[in-house]
Amino acid sequence: METRITQVSPVEYELEIRAARDVLEPKIDKALKAQRQHVTLKGFRPGHVPLSIVRRLHGRAISYEVVDNLIQETYREEVLEGSGHEVMGSPTITKLEYEPEGDLSASIQFGVRPTFEIKDMSVESLTRLKHMVTEEEVDEEIDRLRASRATFTPREGPAQDGDFVRADLQRLDDATDAPLIGERQEGVRFFLGGELDPNVKQALLATTSGSTVRLSLQVSDSEERNRFAATVTDVQTRSLPELTDEFASSVTENEITTVDELRSSLRNRLQQRWNQLLRDRLESEAMKKLIEAHEFEVPHGVVHIWLDSMIDDVKRNNGGSLPDGFDAHDFHHEHHAEAEEMARWMLIRDKIVTENGLTVNDDELDDAFSDTGRRNEQSGQSVRKMFEKHYPDMIDQMSRRIENRKVFDWIFDQFMVEEVEWTDDREG
């Protein structure tokens, strides 16, 4: 048997395998003899069916199985164990020429980890957005909490600003104003306030149970609008609970006992949310600039791993199955560039981790679990060991999260970072 490894690109190699018939036949004969032990045929004792009959019955399938095993074994010995290459992704058989009782000629293409250096990013800039939570934001959060505990009572009289109106909607033909069969929705609820379309709000104000009005409603996120006849079935007025210490205790299940403590807790929670949101934006900007700065080829097998992962996401978001008519080939073509960018980023990230020793140790994991343990008077170490035993995936997720933060902290130090106060993108 002959083998040869040749480089076909900076990150792709090819293993060629050639095996003559006289090399394959002894292996096939051995496999046929093993198969004979399991062949039962009328007129012969088990395990004693003539080899010629076993060959006639199973020879073709056995031959292909032997060849497949030979290719896999040769790839393992020549590439995974003997070549010294750091293989990435799954190998691909690019050529397979074989017929039973003939010679074998096969080629396997495999990818290797790219060789590159992390570039100096000290002349590049990042914009770190800052935002301090305002009292107005805390007030809005409290209003949402009060709204979640609101009580509703039937309105005696016409609907007013801030009421809830429930109506049955019948879609109408735009040209004839006639009802469209099968285009009816019952019990649709409207809040006469907030971000409700002003035209819809105006049409429903002053209505009572039994009133019918015409509405023009926008379809999803498009500019298209449909006309409806809305028959009001219910008008309710909303009463919000008073903001008292008792309310603060109720909404926090007695963890907080005063309004001042509630405001402080909400402010801290909102600030954490803002800090994470703005950090996510900074990480995205840094990641994009690093990807743009590092132009190197990515093994096809690694890109395909990302594409398959994206298809898994489609399946997961569609209830566990792919949508009807889903074309994997078209999906791969459409999302190839995106998958290649993500693969490149992970290679950059891995190199940063390796070169700077940014792996996560047990002490760091203990610290991460300490908050969880504090609630139950357990140490972070005991909580970590409990997760290692019962929920090992959670340990991996936590470790990845800590490592990711360490990676980006290191990355931010490589850039010039300018701090800028956040402004609402919707303003202006």
CATH class of residue range 257-421: mainly alpha
Amino acid at 108: I
**Predicted confidence (pLDDT) per residue in 346-356, tens digit:** 999 999 999 99
**Predicted confidence (pLDDT) per residue in 60-118, tens digit:** 999 999 999 999 999 999 999 987 889 999 899 999 999 999 999 999 999 999 999 99
Q: Do domains 2-112 and 151-239 have the same CATH topology?
A: no
Q: Which pLDDT does position 44 carry in this prediction?
A: 87
The two tokens of residue 20 are 């003559």
Amino acid at 397: Q
Fold of 151-239: Chitinase A; domain 3 (3.10.50)
Mean pLDDT by 10 residues, the chain (428 residues): 95 96 94 90 86 90 95 95 89 94 96 96 96 96 94 94 96 93 94 90 95 88 85 95 96 94 97 96 97 95 94 94 93 96 96 95 86 65 82 88 96 96 68
Q: Which pLDDT does position 374 carry in this prediction?
A: 59
Q: Is 246 left (phi over 0), alpha (psi -120 to 50) or beta?
A: alpha
The two tokens of residue 306 are 């990302």
Instruction: Name the architecture of domain 2-112.
Output: 2-Layer Sandwich (3.30)
Q: Which pLDDT does position 373 carry in this prediction?
A: 58
Task: Tell the residue number behind the tokens 């934006």, with chain if given.
Answer: 281
Average pLDDT in the chain:
92
Domain positions in the chain are: 2-112, 151-239, 257-421
Q: Which pLDDT does position 210 carry in this prediction?
A: 94
How far is C-alpha 309 from the chain's CA centre?
8
The C-alpha atoms of residue 81 and residue 85 are separated, in whole angstroms, by: 9
Q: How far is CA 297 from CA 9, 14, 115, 376, in A?
A: 9, 16, 9, 50
The C-alpha atoms of residue 248 and residue 146 are separated, in whole angstroms, by: 10
Q: Which pLDDT does position 426 carry in this prediction?
A: 45
CA torsion sign for 368, 370, 376, 381 is positive
Residue 351 near residue 119 (C-beta atoms within 8 A): no
The two tokens of residue 249 are 């205790």
Classify 111 as helix, strand or coil. strand
Classify 35 as helix, strand or coil. helix
DSSP 263-290: HHHHHHHHHHHHHHHHHHHHHHHHHHHH
**Predicted confidence (pLDDT) per residue in 298-312, tens digit:** 999 999 999 999 999
